Structure 1
Amino acid sequence: MTQEIQILGQEFVLHPLGGLFWKEKSMLLISDVHLGKVAHFRKFGAAVPRKAIHKNYVLLDQIVAEFEPFQICFLGDLFHSSLNKEWDLFENWVAKTPSELILVSGNHDIISPLKFEQLGIPIYNELVVEGFLLTHHPEQRDGLFNFCGHIHPAIRLRGFGRQNLRLACFFQSQNQLIFPAFGAFTGTHTLHPKKGDKVFAIVEDEVIQV
């Protein structure tokens, strides 16, 4: 189940896979997919199942099929590290995806921009779209609302006794929304909400405000 929110008079849908759909723009925003991370770890001897390589593409196909966006904007760390065998899978995914793709560069995006340009994917350091600042790292800019990633936010919920649960989340403060990591093979960083913050936790197949 998705969660619908409004920011600056625009309508957005938070999806439990970690993406956000901007209705007015028909734009799907996704952060921190970290493609190639499994292949990178396997190359250096990590015991990661080979089938994990395909998980991110299955999730991407699922969310794209649900929204059918005109445009997909990746908010950085699309590919985890240097070029590896998974690039071929990425090329195949791009070729069969009808949406226009753009990348806001993150700290892990070290592959030559020419490789992305050959696939028709422009790269930007940041984008400003109708009052929204799209970046990878969290930024504060007067007069703009920031969509960003990088942090891989999570929230810790405590129950009776010593029960606690850590869940990936969308983390909204006054002028910012931090996206959860979309990638299936990524960690999280626990954030602590202050008064006025909104937390939208991902619980299995639902986005729930907590």
Structure 2
Amino acid sequence: MNAASLLPEKISVVVPLFNEEAVLPQFHFRLLRVMDELASEYEIIYVDDGSRDRSLAVAHNLKAAEARVGIVELSRNFGKEAALTAGLDVASGDAVVIIDADLQDPPELIPSLIEKWREGFDVVYATRTSRDGESFLKKFTAHWFYRLMGKLSDTEIPADTGDFRVMSRRAVAALGQLREQHRFMKGLYAWIGFRQTAVLYRR
């Protein structure tokens, strides 16, 4: 065991926001409960992507009540890929979790992702085994999107997998070297390589 392994780990959580005013307090409450149970140092980074509602104001209220909350405010709506990149650029954790605030992906799954990271995986992505509550059209288009991307790309992109994942510090650093203007994050996650694995869940 080296000296570095004795240091407490730090986990960053990057959360892009776009018009999430209604659900953000509930998401934050559930996220705090999960992170407090992990017994790790952590930070939560909300990235407001030019929301037109009160998402940014709500985020500032959350920051006022919790010192471990940070906010990145984009000047306008640049899109989720840009918001994710901005959040990853400022995240300082040994592991970085990416999760949306809309509660379609459960914060309670984060400990399972972190467990796999602690086992030595650099990228641990959450893969949906079902899409409860979504329309047939939504399920159909999502199914064929991932299959089509798999056919078009030389890099295998995991099917039924969104942005919800945890990445190691070196994976985040490698992703940070890729500064394409038109970014497809799901492809970039796969392209950087390293040890990757999935955690399955029902959405």
What TM-score, normalized to structure 2?
A: 0.39
Between the two structures, name the one with larger relative contact order (CA 8 Å, sep ≥ 6).
Answer: 2
More strand by proportion, 1 or 2? 1
More helix by proportion, 1 or 2? 2
What TM-score, normalized to structure 1?
A: 0.38
